[in-house]
Amino acid sequence: MRVDPVTGLLDAARYLPSPNCDERPAGMDIDLIVIHGISLPPGQFGGPWIDALFTNTLDPAAHPYFQTIASLRVSAHLLIRRDGDLTQYTPFQRRAWHAGVSEYAGRSRCNDFGIGIELEGVDRVPYTDHQYQRLAAVIPALRQAYPAIHPERLAGHADIAPGRKTDPGPAFDWVRLRRLLG
């Protein structure tokens, strides 16, 4: 698995471009990976809804919850589904809109220097073996492409937006991920 340095795309991922991204600030090193959890509708897995949210095509009439989020303009760099399937929405060199108001290690605006990886899941349901295996393969590819991402530069959305976000939640096994990463 590798990141194409020209396109910023991961060769193992299906690419579905999101309009919800822009240029990173000039000279900004990518040095953080932010792990998120997402399910749409909440607590349900599968279906086209995450893709629709990140591509601004979510039908607010398809589920009552969608009426509350259909106007959001958000994206991530990658989504890892429950079966390990990978979708990329934003080239890594561009700024995806995943972190919102955020701070990590004294620096605000984590979208500027972070890569957002969504895991299909919810805070209190264990993530799958496929997801851990895929994430453990993606992270070294990102570190190879972006050497400023040191091993300790992994955070959950809850870590960069405490009190506002809870994902990937207590069901995410950080020890397991670090063990897989070696």
At residue 1 the predicted structure's pLDDT band, cuts being 50, 70 and 90, is: very high
Q: What is the pLDDT of residue 147?
A: 96
**Residues 98, 115: Cα–Cα separation, whole Å:** 9
Say whether 23 is catalytic: no
**Residues 89, 112: Cα–Cα separation, whole Å:** 16
Query: Which entry of 23, 118, 120, 152 is annotated as an active-site residue?
Result: 118
Residue 94, judged by CB atoms within 10 A of its CB (0-12, 13-18, 19+), counts as middle
Q: Is CATH 3.40.50.720 the right assignment for the domain spanning 14-21+28-181?
A: no
Q: What is the pLDDT of residue 127?
A: 98
9-64: per-residue pLDDT in tens?
Answer: 999 999 999 999 999 999 999 999 999 999 999 999 999 999 999 999 999 999 99
Q: Tell me the pLDDT of the chain averaged across its residues.
A: 97
116-172: per-residue pLDDT in tens?
Answer: 999 999 999 999 999 999 999 999 999 999 999 999 999 999 999 999 999 999 999
pTM: 0.96
Tell me: cis bond preceding 147? Omega within 30 of 0 counts. Answer: no
Domain ranges for the chain: 14-21+28-181
Q: What is the pLDDT of residue 53?
A: 97
8 A C-beta contact, residue 46 and residue 129: no
